[in-house]
Amino acid sequence: MASSSPPAERAAVRAGVSVCAPGRLHLGFLDPSGTLGRRFGSIGLVVDGFETELELHGAPRDELHADGPAARAELDRAAAHLSALRERSGLREPLSLRLRRVLPAHAGFGSGTQLALAVGRAFARWHGLDVDTPTLAQWLGRGLRSGIGIAGFDAGGLLLDGGPGRDGQPAKVLSRVELPAAWRVIVVLDPRCRGLSGAQEREAIATLPPLPQAAAADICHQLLMRVLPGAALDDFAAFAPGLNRVQQLLGDHFAPAQAGSAWTSASVGRLMQWWGETAGAAGGAAIGQSSWGPTGFAIVPSAAAAQSLVDAARSAGVVDPALELQVVGARRRGARVIDLPAR
């Protein structure tokens, strides 16, 4: 059983805890089939503009609140996380939890992991528990394949992990690089679609043919010798083709689970393919789908390049009116955790 500060002592310091957790784009697995005995490993990018935000307070009785329909849809998951945290810690005093906003669910932003970690961090902070983020992730059943969301919660950046340990521990980060400040990410959302998750995701991974070792080796080579040094050295000419090659290999591999396409959303796919064919005029782009989609992304070397691509696509009529386009920066920090002052 975990120990914590007495309620009266906490009340004198804070009225509650606010946590704002960032979304991430999952840019690809290194070796989903484990050709050398270690499965998955992944690379991902934490981005600005997409967050899960919640507040936790002490209360006379348990209360759950949500601001808006998207947040209300996540209340059951949030309640389950609180229950799991109480079982692990033995701390059961009543709490009031409010979801202010949430990441788009099953869209490639890591919404499940960020909600779990935000609830976990708020719970630990409120009770004065000294528990690190990987431990919270284990308590809440997160990080079974990728460690990007866990590391991104703490630090932000472009992150690479080597896959989860054989003992079930979340994957450890092997590299963290901050993207150059000028680079931008065009994020393309399709609210009509959802990517695979849960049992469907597990079934898809289990039934896909193994990724050949040569393809896994190519992915690792591209990441180690193009993507990571390109980001670290502000060398977009190395970064973009490296990530494009990774996305091509993984898109081909996962296509059988996505109706034969590298893209979950046909509308997103058409736009991203058009950008891939025309991006040379704007200085190139690294283009792909985050996780199972439907969200697509185009990483470009400047805000001007991003605006040029967006304007060109709209002028050419290749942007489905249902799509949502946002231009954001790479996020260099993790979650924001704030003690709410007593009134």
- Identify the band that residue 10 occupies on the pLDDT scale cut at 50, 70 and 90: low
Q: What is the pLDDT of residue 198?
A: 75
Q: Which amino acid is at 85?
A: L
Q: What is the pLDDT of residue 280?
A: 57
Contact call for residues 137 and 116 (beta carbons, < 8 A): yes
* Pair of tokens at residue 145: 């394949």
Q: What is the pLDDT of residues 116-143, one digit of tens each?
A: 999 999 999 999 999 999 999 999 988 7
Q: What is the pLDDT of residues 39-76, one digit of tens each?
A: 899 999 999 999 999 999 999 999 999 999 999 999 99
Q: Domain limits of the chain?
A: 7-177+331-340, 184-328
Q: What is the pLDDT of residue 199?
A: 80
Equal fold, 7-177+331-340 vs 184-328 = no
Cis before 294 (ω within 30): yes
Q: What is the pLDDT of residue 1?
A: 44
Q: What is the pLDDT of residue 341?
A: 84
Q: What is the pLDDT of residues 15-31, one digit of tens each?
A: 899 999 999 999 999 99
DSSP 212-257: PHHHHHHHHHHIIIIIHHHHHTT-HHHHHHHHHHHHHHHHHHHGGG
Contact call for residues 114 and 98 (beta carbons, < 8 A): no
Rounded Cα gap, residues 10 and 137, in angstroms: 24
Task: State if pTM tops 0.75.
Answer: yes
On the question of pLDDT at 12 being above 60, the answer is no
Helix (H) or strand (E) holding 96: strand 95-101
Fold of 7-177+331-340: Ribosomal Protein S5; domain 2 (3.30.230)
Percentage of residues of the chain with pLDDT beyond 70: 94
CATH architecture of 184-328: 2-Layer Sandwich (3.30)
Q: What is the pLDDT of residue 38?
A: 86
Rounded Cα gap, residues 161 and 145, in angstroms: 10
How long is the chain?
343
Q: What is the pLDDT of residue 3?
A: 54
